[in-house]
Amino acid sequence: MSEPILQVRDLRVEYATPAGPAQAVGGVSFDLAKGEFLAIVGESGCGKSTLLFAVAQLLTYPGRLAGGEVLFDGVDFTTLKPEELRLHRWRDISVVMQSAMNALNPTLTIGAQLTDACKAHTEWSDEKIAQRSAEVLAMVAIDAVHLKSYPFQLSGGMRQRAMIAMALLLEPKLVIMDEPTSALDVVAQRSLMHQVETLRHQLGFAVIFVTHDMSVVSHYSDRLAVMYAGEIVELGPTREVFDRPEHPYSQGLMEAFPSLLGESKQLTGIAGNPPSLVDPPEGCLFAPRCAYANDECRSVRPELIAYGNHQVRCHLVARTRKNDA
Amino acid sequence: MPDAILRVQDLTRLFRVGGFRTRGQLHAIDEVSFEVASGEIVALVGESGSGKSTIARVLAGLYPATSGSFVFEGKAMGRREVRASRGDMPMVFQDPFGSINPVLRVGHALLRSLKLHRPDIKRADRFAEAVALVEKVGLTPGEEVLRRYPHELSGGQRQRLGFAQALASRPSLILADEPVSMLDVSIRIGLLNVMKELRDNEGVSILYITHDLASARYVADRMIVLYAGRIAEEGLTTEVIGSPQHPYTRLLMSSAPDPHLAPTAFEGDDLGEPPKVINPGPGCRFAPRCPLAMDQCVVTTPPMVALSATHHAACYAVKP
Ligand SMILES: Nc1ncnc2c1ncn2[C@@H]1O[C@H](COP(=O)(O)OP(=O)(O)O)[C@@H](O)[C@H]1O
Ligand SMILES: Nc1ncnc2c1ncn2[C@@H]1O[C@H](COP(=O)(O)OP(=O)(O)O)[C@@H](O)[C@H]1O
Ligand SMILES: [Mg+2]
Ligand SMILES: [Mg+2]
């Protein structure tokens, strides 16, 4: 892998709840190369948004960073003061939130929101701002006439593209996207993904893309991380994880997607529910739902173990791999 | 179709929209005709705004059609009949958290439905029947489930309960409006399997409304593809998926990523989204986005062309 732009080390996040602290992110580590597209998939509640918030240092009460480092270009974001972080936001990292409807201000035109963002982070002249605003909208195929439009005047797909345009205003090195396509229909979803890919190749930014629907990213991301109950359980090149998932949870997830054009077969899904984050099971967090779980699985929490460029958090995979070696 | 239990004919529903100057008629569904046979799952597929829920709501009697009609179990349903028969076609909704009274035990609503719809069951036998119903949708042990409160059930369990509730009146057809869209992927498949089991074991037909082609292929015997309030294509699932004919069906299929397969080509030039159909002119509603559009397409509405006894597409570019 080329020089990592982002190194996340043993990141932990807790939410204070009446029942006690809930560990929403429990020791997540990964590297992201310059210009790389990393997809993070997992079911709702597994901690995807919390992880992104922690990486971008946007956590608010009752969430709290309980440990770990977020090294961006070697600078540990977790140690920076708010005003120091401000210098990195938008220029180095920008975030595209789950719902453009909530993230865009409904009372301001798209142009005014782009202008506000520029004014907050640059000393640009009004002409420069106008020019750059039109430029980023053009990148996402939105006509500059929409600088004067309010969010409600745009279709869902256009709003989501406008959000991405805004994220690209100051040419960040990393764009973090939290389910940007979930509210869209499949055609708009596909065209948005296509656009993100084209821009990434043109501009060279890295992407962390979170989704609960991994079919969305299956053809776009370089690497895929599968999250379960706040942990990464599998991480590897996207095609490899899809074609040969190692972790029983990833295997179950792949088996939960009916194919549109491939083989037509009876599927089963995964029985049971994710564990409590306040009072998690002692061993592997997936053990209660895992068909292969044994005593070790139920008593010892497995580590994320690397094989070549693939990582898996599973005792059984670890043992068979050791025997193979 | 000899044993059609539902025949829908030219069903149209308009909504008045806009203000004083901009008043218009929104055509939510326009002259929609189709049939559902006994014991089959028919998928109604389309993007949001294509009119899927409007069809279900008109059929369920939640609001009347503007014009057109349907015949259900041999009875013609005009405005008046629909009101009286509300509940003949029970509906399962998308939101598993919206449609259940939170303060009553799960069993309460089910027992009430049985009391209302199944006078043949004696009071003493009602609980046993309710247990049987929830077990049919995979909620076990039934006695225990019936004593729980809705907040003690997961989203997937609530949607199963929705189907049990729908089954209480022993309907021949259930309208399921995006019943799995809000569920996590690992849970969706279980519910799709419940739908198949209800068809196979109980002989109930299901109109399965979805925007997800792959799930439609998984459960449905036949598919109807809607675009902007009109049927673009319909046929056996194998026909529509195996040889899609309408350019819109093809666009939908090429847009849906299939993680099980290598990437398909996508030109990426279609940024279009379905239009809101307000005061429409004549012609095909897909024409502005259609790579095959001809002069004729914007002049007159293309009629349904038969591609086989079961496969039809409304497109001038399609040759029978
Ligand atoms: N503000 C909060 N207070 C308490 N718990 C929270 C809060 N936000 C999220 N959580 C919990 O943290 C876990 C992870 O949530 P989230 O990061 O939103 O997951 P995802 O984005 O994968 O759906 C969930 O169990 C959720 O209930
Ligand atoms: N009560 C209503 N008033 C005005 N317009 C409506 C109403 N219900 C639905 N519509 C419009 O009718 C069209 C079809 O809606 P709907 O049947 O809900 O589509 P779908 O279920 O396929 O997403 C949409 O353009 C929608 O905005
Ligand atoms: Mg989230
Ligand atoms: Mg709907």
Q: What is the pLDDT of residue B138?
A: 93
Residues 16-75 of B with CB under 8 A from A: 47-48
Q: What is the pLDDT of residue A308?
A: 81
Q: Are B285 and B230 in contact (CB under 8 A)?
A: yes
Which of these, A55, A82, A59, lies nearest to A69 by C-alpha position?
Answer: A55
Q: According to the 3-state scheme, what is the secondary structure of B208-251?
A: EEECCHHHHHHHCCEEEEEECCEEEEEEEHHHHHHCCCCHHHHH
What is the separation of C-alpha B11 from the centre of its chain, rounded to a whole number of angstroms?
A: 15
β-strands B205-210, B222-227 pairing: unpaired
Q: What is the pLDDT of residue A319?
A: 82
Residues A17 and A68 placed together within one structural domain of the fold: yes
Inside any domain, residue A177: yes
- The pair of structure tokens assigned to B209 is 């409304």
Contact A216 B270 (CB under 8 A): no
Residues A31 and A129 placed together within one structural domain of the fold: no
Q: Which residue is closest in CA terms to ligand 2's atom 21?
A: B53
Please give the mean pLDDT across all residues of chain A. 92
Contact list in A for residue B192 (CB cut-off 8 A) is: 258
Read off the pLDDT band of B265 (50, 70, 90): low
Q: How far apart are CA B176 and CA B198, in angstroms?
A: 13
pLDDT, tens digit, 9 for 90 and up, residues A188-240: 888 889 889 999 999 999 999 999 888 888 889 999 999 999 999 999 999 99
Domain that includes residue A136, residue range: 104-171
Q: What is the pLDDT of residue B150?
A: 86
Examine the pLDDT at A97 and tell me if it is beyond 90. no
Whole-number Å distance, alpha carbon A50 to ligand 1 midpoint, is 6
Read off the pLDDT band of B245 (50, 70, 90): very high
Residues A146 and A57 placed together within one structural domain of the fold: no
What residues pair up with B35 in beta bridges, in sequence order?
A: B7
Other CB atoms within a 10 A radius of the CB of residue B28 amount to 24
Q: What DSSP string runs through A144-204? A: GGGGG--GGGS-HHHHHHHHHHHHTTT--SEEEEESTTTTS-HHHHHHHHHHHHHHHHHH-
Examine the pLDDT at B238 and tell me if it is beyond 70. yes
Residues A161 and A219 placed together within one structural domain of the fold: no
Q: What is the pLDDT of residue B99?
A: 65
- Arithmetic mean of pLDDT, A231-260: 93
Contact A187 B266 (CB under 8 A): no
Neighbours of ion ligand 3 (CB under 5 A): A 49
Q: How far apart are CA B15 and CA B24, in angstroms?
A: 8
- The pair of structure tokens assigned to B143 is 């006695």
Burial of B282 (0-12, 13-18, 19+ CB in 10 A): exposed
Read off the pLDDT band of B1 (50, 70, 90): low
Read off the pLDDT band of A254 (50, 70, 90): confident
- The pair of structure tokens assigned to B284 is 């095909």
Q: What is the pLDDT of residue B94?
A: 86
Whole-number Å distance, alpha carbon A46 to ligand 3 midpoint, is 8
Residue corresponding to tokens 């159909």? B277
Please report which ligand is nearest the Cα atom of A45: 1
- Arithmetic mean of pLDDT, B224-237: 98
Inside any domain, residue A317: no
- The pair of structure tokens assigned to A91 is 């220029």
Say which residue, B309 or B257, is predicted with more confidence.
B309
pLDDT, tens digit, 9 for 90 and up, residues A8-57: 999 999 999 999 999 999 999 999 999 999 999 999 899 999 999 999 99
Residues 6+ apart with CB under 8 A from B230: B29, B30, B31, B32, B285, B301, B314
What residues pair up with B206 in beta bridges, in sequence order?
A: B41, B174
Q: How far apart are CA B263 and CA B261, in angstroms?
A: 6
Inside any domain, residue A99: no
Q: What is the pLDDT of residue A309?
A: 85
Examine the pLDDT at A72 and tell me if it is beyond 60. yes
Residues A84 and A202 placed together within one structural domain of the fold: yes
Rounded (10°) CA dihedral A178, A180, A186, A188: -160
Read off the pLDDT band of A65 (50, 70, 90): very high
Inside any domain, residue A41: yes
The minimum CA-CA distance between B102 and chain A, rounded to whole Å, is 21
- Interface test mutation site (partner B, options A186, A193, A220, max chain B beta carbons within 10 A): A186
- E-assigned strands of chain B? 4-17, 24-37, 41-45, 67-72, 75-77, 91-92, 173-177, 205-210, 222-227, 230-236, 304-306, 312-314
Q: Are A297 and A290 in contact (CB under 8 A)?
A: yes
**Residue of chain B minimizing CA distance to A41:** B185
Q: How far apart are CA B302 and CA B43, in angstroms?
A: 22
Which of these, A242, A178, A250, lies nearest to A210 by C-alpha position?
Answer: A178
pLDDT, tens digit, 9 for 90 and up, residues A266-280: 998 888 889 999 999
The enclosing domain of A191 has a CATH number of 3.40.50.300
> Domain B4-90+204-314's class?
alpha beta
DSSP B199: I
B266 touches chain A (CB under 8 A): yes
| Exposure string for A277-303, b = 16+ CB within 10 A, e = fewer | beebbebbbbbebbeebeeebeeebbe
ω before B303 within 30° of 0 (cis)? no
Residues A140 and A84 placed together within one structural domain of the fold: no
Examine the pLDDT at B141 and tell me if it is beyond 70. yes
- The pair of structure tokens assigned to A57 is 């240092």
Residues A26 and A144 placed together within one structural domain of the fold: no
Please give the mean pLDDT across all residues of chain B. 90
Rounded (10°) CA dihedral A142, A146, A152, A154: -30
Residues A190 and A77 placed together within one structural domain of the fold: yes
Q: What is the pLDDT of residue B285?
A: 95
Examine the pLDDT at A102 and tell me if it is beyond 70. no
Pick from A186, A198, A212: CB nearest B185: A212
Examine the pLDDT at B18 and tell me if it is beyond 90. no
Which of these, B196, B158, B44, B203, lies nearest to A258 by C-alpha position?
Answer: B196
Inside any domain, residue A117: yes
Residues 6+ apart with CB under 8 A from B106: B100, B134, B145, B146, B147, B148, B149, B150, B153, B161
Inside any domain, residue A76: yes
B215 touches chain A (CB under 8 A): yes
Contact list in A for residue B253 (CB cut-off 8 A) is: 260-261
How many structural domains comprise chain A? 2
The minimum CA-CA distance between A187 and chain B, rounded to whole Å, is 5
Read off the pLDDT band of A174 (50, 70, 90): very high
- Arithmetic mean of pLDDT, A291-316: 94
Which of these, A178, A195, A259, lies nearest to B256 by C-alpha position?
Answer: A259
Residues A117 and A251 placed together within one structural domain of the fold: no
The minimum CA-CA distance between B270 and chain A, rounded to whole Å, is 7
List all residues whose CB is within 6 A of at least one atom of ligand 2. B 15, 17, 26, 28, 46, 48-54, 276
Read off the pLDDT band of A323 (50, 70, 90): low
Least confident segment among A53-67, A89-103, B107-121: A89-103
Q: 3-class SS at A254?
A: helix
Q: Please report the ipTM that was assigned to this predicted complex.
A: 0.87
β-strands B230-236, B222-227 pairing: antiparallel
Q: How far apart are CA B148 and CA B159, in angstroms?
A: 15
Residue corresponding to tokens 């972080």? A85
Inside any domain, residue A298: no
Number of alpha carbons in the 13 Å side-chain half-sphere of residue B297: 18
Residues A159 and A182 placed together within one structural domain of the fold: no
Say which residue, B116 or A3, is predicted with more confidence.
B116
Question: Which residues of A lie inside 8 Å of B (Cβ-Cβ)?
Answer: 43-44, 141, 155-157, 185-191, 194-195, 198, 212-216, 218-219, 242, 252-254, 256-264, 266-271, 273
- Interface test mutation site (partner A, options B50, B181, B184, B267, max chain A beta carbons within 10 A): B184
Contact list in B for residue A269 (CB cut-off 8 A) is: 185-190, 193
Pick from A218, A264, A268: CB nearest B259: A218
Q: What is the pLDDT of residue B155?
A: 87
Ligand 2 atom at minimum distance from B211 CA: 22
Q: What is the pLDDT of residue A100?
A: 56
Please report which ligand is nearest the Cα atom of B51: 2
Contact A191 B271 (CB under 8 A): yes
β-strands B4-17, B24-37 pairing: antiparallel
Least confident segment among A281-290, A302-311, B233-242: A302-311
Q: Are A50 and A25 in contact (CB under 8 A)?
A: yes
DSSP B298: G
- Arithmetic mean of pLDDT, B284-307: 95
This prediction's pTM = 0.92
Residues A160 and A20 placed together within one structural domain of the fold: no
Examine the pLDDT at B101 and tell me if it is beyond 80. no
Residues 6+ apart with CB under 8 A from B29: B11, B12, B13, B51, B54, B55, B58, B226, B229, B230
Q: What is the pLDDT of residue A101?
A: 59
Which of these, B18, B62, B55, lies nearest to B231 by C-alpha position?
Answer: B55
Pick from B215, B266, B268: CB nearest A258: B215
Residues A272 and A187 placed together within one structural domain of the fold: yes
Inside any domain, residue A261: yes
The CA-based angle B115-B116-B119, given to 5 degrees, is 65
Least confident segment among A150-159, B288-297, B303-312: A150-159
Q: What is the pLDDT of residue A218?
A: 87
Q: What is the pLDDT of residue B87?
A: 61
Contact A216 B257 (CB under 8 A): yes
